[in-house]
Structure 1
Amino acid sequence: MMTALDDLCPIPFHEASENARARILSRLADTELFVALTREPADDRAEILSFDLSGTKAALACDSEERLSEFMGRVVAYAAMPGRVLAALLGEAGSALLVNPGRPSELFLDASALDWLGQVLSAAPEEGGELRPSWLTAPTPEAIEIFLVPLAQRLADMVGLATSAALVAAVWPDGRRGHLLLLRGCADDSRAALAKAFAEFFSFLPMVEGGVDIGFAELDLPQGALLLDVPERKPEPEPVRRDPKAPPRLR
């Protein structure tokens, strides 16, 4: 059975383009991973199982407990946690991570890559206040090429949180030029979380001149704005995404 990570890996991770690898890592951060432990946890304490891969200490994790047991050839103790939490733990410990060995989404991240990933995911967006751009125009062809497909994929995760998004080029009162992503149909109490989610999203992608701001104001859109709708909620329940701040679920 293919998973969301598999779907992003039509070719091996380390052969993929920079944009494709960025989308995979962004998805990995939000995926619940099952990391192998040395033994069953005791008193809420757990020790991650380490492997020696070419002289590098590495942990093993899969995006389902069945995949983990199948690779190990036996039922194995595990801790379940979002990829962002596991990346931070292993990055601090100087360990590497092997994900989904033998699957389309197999990938190996060394300690430096995990440390970088943790820094990206811990970054918080700057507060923009109510500052409004002086001028809006159509986004540049470069921005459309870089962001169109990743944005459509990311917005598919925003069912019920937003109704649509628009990407435009913006000129700000201080003369700065860049791009602006306007999110529509967002509840006030979800805006801070959405701003952080999209700040993370753009940090995984190539930079465009002036960067990309995130806003929620109802502005008149220029001709040529890139408009994207958030898919409507399906009758089937959406996959559960665990709170990144929640403690690991131990078995």
Structure 2
Amino acid sequence: MTETPIDTAFAAMTAAPQDDAARLRFYDALASSELFLMLTKEPEGDSISPEVFELQDASFVLVFDREDRISEFAGRAVPYAALPGRALAQMLNGQNIGLALNPEVAPSEFLMPPDALAWLSGTLDHGPEEREARPERLSAPRGLPDSLITALDAKLASAAGLARSAYLAEVAYDDGSQGHLLGITGAIPEAQRALAGAVNEALVFSGLEAGVLDVTFVDDSDILAAELARVALRFDLPEPAQPKKVEQIAPGSDPDSPPILK
């Protein structure tokens, strides 16, 4: 059976229980994955009724990271709702409800208590903040941990079709402050907030609690784009999957495949 990203992250976390970075990578995988929430009945519009059970003075909902796992657990077809882990965490926050992840059907079987779910929701709520400053000098990035570079690469790879490229550079601003800047080119305007949020998650789940990474969206004609391309570390976002082209060939038009006489 193929491992899921949650399986892989959970195995790494349990193998090194004192490793904060491994634990953050598990929470990142949980927030980024699509989860299947077991329901008591089919959804009615925007209203859903999760299956809830009581255990150890808390309530838990049943979630799975693959459709076949929810069927295997229930032993039959059951209603469910599919939603990102980050959305589920924010939906359940404050209700004293935890997650029962993949119970009895996967190596990543895990009970996530309400306080851990509240921490995850609070972490995800700390979104990017806007600031006003103009870059004066750019140079190649220095001193950033490999964990952040890897996390950025993964987050940007999951944003296929939302932008074209991203450039990471060290920056000095006109107000005297310094830091690192991620310039994103070719971004769809409607996706800019989601892209900034994804970059913020990469920073948070890399364990850099006091870290700051600025994000800006750059037009190709902007002089900043040329300067970033010259000195920065480049990430290319994948192209969205294209639907297969279907060609209709008239019978008899292909000499290698003559029509069949009946």
Give deviations 1:70-101, integer Å, cap 9, x for gaps. 02333333233222222123222111112223
Measured at CA, do residues 94 and 236 of structure 1 come closer, stay the same or move farther in structure 2, by a change above 3 Å? farther
* 1:1-251 paired onto structure 2 within 5 Å: 1-2=1-2, 4-6=4-6, 8-9=8-9, 11-15=11-15, 17-37=19-39, 39-41=40-42, 45-101=47-103, 102-129=105-132, 131-141=133-143, 143-207=144-208, 211-217=212-218, 218=222, 219=224, 220-221=227-228, 225-235=232-242
* Contact 1:36 1:59 survives alignment (8 Å): yes
**Taking every aligned residue pair, what percent have the same amino acid on both sides?**
36
TM-score, normalised via structure 1 length = 0.77
Measured at CA, do residues 34 and 42 of structure 1 come closer, stay the same or move farther in structure 2, by a change above 3 Å? closer
Query: CA-atom RMSD, angstroms?
Result: 3.0
Measured at CA, do residues 186 and 41 of structure 1 come closer, stay the same or move farther in structure 2, by a change above 3 Å? closer
Distance (whole Å) between structure 2 residues aligned to residue 109 and residue 7 of structure 1: 15
Moved over 6 A (4+): none
SS at match of 1:211: coil
* Larger RCO of the pair (alpha carbons < 8 Å, separation 6+): 1
Larger CA Rg, structure 1 vs 2: 2
Q: Which moved more, 1:59-68 or 1:101-110?
A: 101-110
Distance (whole Å) between structure 2 residues aligned to residue 11 and residue 42 of structure 1: 33
Q: Which structure 1 segments of 5+ residues have no match?
A: 238-251
Measured at CA, do residues 80 and 189 of structure 1 come closer, stay the same or move farther in structure 2, by a change above 3 Å? closer
* Contact 1:136 1:222 survives alignment (8 Å): no
Distance (whole Å) between structure 2 residues aligned to residue 67 and residue 164 of structure 1: 36
* Contact 1:163 1:185 survives alignment (8 Å): yes
Q: Which structure 2 segments of 5+ residues have no match?
A: 245-262
Distance (whole Å) between structure 2 residues aligned to residue 10 and residue 43 of structure 1: 33
TM-score, normalised via structure 2 length = 0.75
Give deviations 1:144-179, integer Å, cap 9, x for gaps. 422221122111112111222121122222222221
Alpha-carbon shift at residue 33 of structure 1 (Å): 1.7
* Contact 2:6 2:30 survives alignment (8 Å): no
Q: Which moved more, 1:10-19 or 1:150-159?
A: 10-19
SS at match of 1:216: strand
